[in-house]
Structure 1
Amino acid sequence: MAMLTVFSIFAVVVGIGATFNAVKSLRQRRVFNSRAVRVSGVVVDLKWQHTSGAGRVAMPIFNYYTREGHPMQATETVGTNPPRFRPGHPVVVLYDPHEPYRAHLEGMSWVATGVQVMSMVLGPLFAVAGLVALAVILL
């Protein structure tokens, strides 16, 4: 019984946390996209990273020039496997004109948005399941 109570509380906390984190991330991405500047760039390398569930994902490292002509390099924060881009591949870069080092590749936001939407669906389900379990335990 105590273990079920702990699990129920854990489900509520994780569910609420996942939901708030997803909403916050979607808002940040919307703000970024609303003021982002689009420029041409090129993928120069791939950074492979191990993940807990998907094995390894490739995050493109890309070069671009700001509108003012300053050379920049950034690494996409979202990875895929198989890699969506290869070194030498031309890309469209979105960067924040106030913080030009903050950049993303156009077309990669669907991966992050998919994860966020999934969190917005599963988060409340976890929270409700935890609350129902707590109600059953306490009543």
Structure 2
Amino acid sequence: MNTNDGFRELGREECLRLLEGAPIGRVVHTRHALPAVLPVNFCLDVDSAVLMRTSADSELAAAVDGVVIAFEADEVDATAHSGWSVVVTGRATVVTDPAEHGRLARTGPRSWVASPGEVFIRIEPELVTGRQLVAGLAAY
């Protein structure tokens, strides 16, 4: 990355700290051999895995189980020309262990639209990258 382009690379720990405060992110996966992006609410688990909650029979649960996907969250202040973006890439799995599902039902993300038979999707943070737009440096 060009050091004069107004962006600063973020380290893994800083990326994860920023994700903890973000209410919404986007899941990037493949749908019918094309890119698909879905906004979701989420949280981080104690091991920094990204957790989402959805209906067991949702297209999302079927599309991402066992597949490497990306997850992105950001925060932008258009007035101040500042913000950040973090991308987590890793294998997604539907949580099937009953004890783990029970724990996540208590501590995991809450659905904004509850449905019967909800499942949790876990994205292992194999690659965590991010960058921050530094105010004033990118002004033209």
Shorter-chain TM band: under 0.3
- Which structure has more helix as a fraction of its residues? 1
Structure label with greater radius of gyration: 1
- Which structure has more strand as a fraction of its residues? 2
What's the TM-score once normalised by structure 2's chain length? 0.26
